[in-house]
Amino acid sequence: MSRVPAAKRRRLSPPEDGARANGATEDHKAKFLNNAAKWDLEQDYENRPRKLKKGKENKKLPVRTTEGWVAPPLTAQEIKDEESDSFLGSGSEDEADEQSDAEEVEEQKPKIPARQQVLEAKEELARIAGLVNEDPEEHVGALKALQGLADSENVTVKKLALATQVSIFKDIIPGYRIRPLSEEKMQEKISKDVKKLRQFEQKLVSGYETYVKYLAKLAKSSGSAQEQTASLASVAVSCACNLLIAVPHFNFRGELLKILVGKLSTRRVDADFVRCREAMESLFETDEDGNAALEAVTMLTKMMKSRNYHFDESVLNTFLHLRLLSEFALKASYHSVDKPERPEFNGKRLKQKREFRTKRTRKELKEKKAVEKEFKEADAAVSHEERDRMQAETLKMVFVAYFRILKARSPKLMGAVLEGLARYAHLINQDFFGDILEALRDIIATAELTAAAAVEEDEDASDAEDDDDEAPDRNLTRESLLCVITAFALLEGQDGAKTASTLKLDLSYFITHLYRTLHPVSLNTDIELSTKSLHLPDPNAATSHADTAKINVQTTIVLLIRSLSSVLLPATSMRAVPPLRVAAFAKQLITVSLHLPEKSCTAMLGLLNRVAKTHGKKVAPLWNTEERRGDGVFDALKPEIEGSNPFAGTVWEGEILRKHFAPSVREAMMGIERNVLEASK
């Protein structure tokens, strides 16, 4: 039997004594403290992984209902724990991190130079414009992109975007006004093509409205001291003018007119003002149906009244470009329009002859008229009745403006009103005629009193220096001449015999005033100058006559000859002019011609040549030295024509004019004598 060896036992080391154990502990502490000084405790704390809070899990099982398995609702403690979770739920540090990241991205994003922005904008604008012009219905949504470019911070890009939108709208706007769709129209079943067209129209109107409002916002800054703002406003005004001329029939015409009228209401005449005025004149000249002109004239009239008639006179002269001056046939005043008169015979109206038509013919004619009406509506043709109605309302508004200014006695607008009334004389009815003549008399009376007061002040030596410093704001001579022209133009535009018998008009007041002003006007050194004449100012004058506001571009000599032609050679009843009046004016005009410059003298003798050809027998005694029809002495300074005794004098000035240095004057004088000689035979 074998013997199993015994297991070996490891010998244990004897336990250390207490002194050795204490020494080892102290060495270990010293090493620990030495190493702890080198530790970065904060860094270790930051690098330590975050311990997430482990909430109690909801061990409830889902409940089965009729709608299916439903999870058990969370307890209030669990909801509170989720909401009060660490900064992961608050979002404050996340937002700060995102903001810092965004700032870093912005700092890293390179800034594009202004020139590069303009080049990129040009390419983008050209691309969008090409797309829209190629297929407007498909790419009408690109108008929003254009408006986004117009909101750029770069001023040049803004201007380019505004100009591009003008050209695009001028190309894609249809030739009709787009009406808003009613609820019934929206609910109708329509074809796919009609639906596509309606969507295009609504998007076009929406984009156009946004653009026009943006133009109005920019145009309000016109005349600003800031250069960039003023330049943007100028571009906006130019765009509005172009749109109004190109598409006056389209929507939001009133907003465009407000931009122009707002600019015309200022007294400052700059490039934008001139552009708006020319656009308004072009609108008046090209308006066929009269609707746009009526709206513009109404807004201008309201603006004039609100400004208390303190505006530039060129705005009032835009009324002279209305088409109704040559197209409208009825007469009107500031409150009514005459109806067309039916033909009369011996005071009785003639009955219109009715043509006999069968029932079948009447039916065919009725159907034909209905078809023609549909064709007119399809072609957007303007009927004469509608146009006459619009022009009649426009004419009333024009007369309202003129009559209000006459009553207000606005000095700087009086000349423009008189010129306008002279041009509209053939359209003024008899109800308005008397009021205008009364206002013209008041203007002439005021001019005479002012001239008399000026003469008295000039005679006072003590106030001579003060008078030189003050220059009149009005040219009273030109205004009085225009009053005479207007009065006779009004009479010529009416039925002369009917008007004189009905209203008992007497124009002798205007004739006498013209006779009294012949000598002062002939001594005017600026008689051949107008606002457009280039000449050096008088160094001895306080203010230059060229700087003062003129009524119109016609010279004073032209106004004088126009007024003399109305008195001596009227369009109606030319032979009825009294011989005394013709002789007195002929004698004075021959004397006046001695003081006039060459061109004015030639024009005056040309008028006398026509007078001698028409009234040769009436003026022949002035050239006869042997026989005289009057007794006494001719008084050239007599203010009344009847008291001047013209037949007691002779035309001795003719001998001087026959030896004038200008050949044209010599020939004109010999022509007058030739006509007088032929008439006296």
**Sequence-distant (≥ 6) Cβ neighbours of residue 638 within 8 angstroms:** 644, 645
Exposure b/e, 176-215, CB count within 10 A at least 16 = b? eebeeeeeeeeeeeeeeeeeeeeebbebbbebbeebbebb
Ranges of the chain whose pLDDT falls below 50: 1, 85-96, 104-106, 109, 342-343, 345-347, 461-473, 497, 543-551
Instruction: Determine the Cα–Cα distance for residues 550 and 415; give it in Å rounded to an integer.
Output: 8
Give the span between the Cα atoms of 214 and 142, in whole angstroms.
17
Burial environment of residue 371 by CB neighbours within 10 A (0 to 12, 13 to 18, 19 or more): exposed
Amino acid 370 reads A
What's the token pair of residue 171?
A: 């190309």
| Token pair belonging to 446 | 């005021």
Q: Residue 421 has what pLDDT?
A: 87
At residue 301, the pLDDT reads: 94
Nearest CA among 537, 528, 539, 634 for reference residue 588: 634
CB 432: neighbour CB atoms within 10 A? Answer: 22
Q: Which long-range contacts (CB under 8 A, 24 or more apart) does 179-186 make?
A: none
Instruction: Give the pLDDT score at 92.
Output: 47
Block residue for tokens 């009917």? 498
* Domain ranges for the chain: 111-286, 287-340+383-457+472-506
Give the pLDDT score at 351.
55
Work out whether strand 68-70 and strand 63-65 pair parallel, antiparallel, or are unpaired.
Answer: antiparallel
Q: What is the pLDDT of residue 545?
A: 42
Which residue in 448, 520, 511, 446 sits closest to 485, CA to CA? 511
What contacts 29, CB < 8 A, 6 or more positions away?
Answer: none
- Determine the number of helices (DSSP H) and then strands (DSSP E) in the chain: 31, 4
For residue 451, give both structure tokens.
């001239």
- C-alpha 322/C-alpha 284 separation (Å) is 5
At 10 the pLDDT is 57
Q: What is the DSSP string of 171-236?
A: HH--SSPPPPPPHHHHHS---HHHHHHHHHHHHHHHHHHHHHHHHHHHHTTTT-SSHHHHHHHHHH
In 3D, which of 623, 611, 478, 607 has the Cα closest to residue 554?
478
pLDDT in tens, 393-423: 999 899 889 988 988 888 788 888 888 888 8
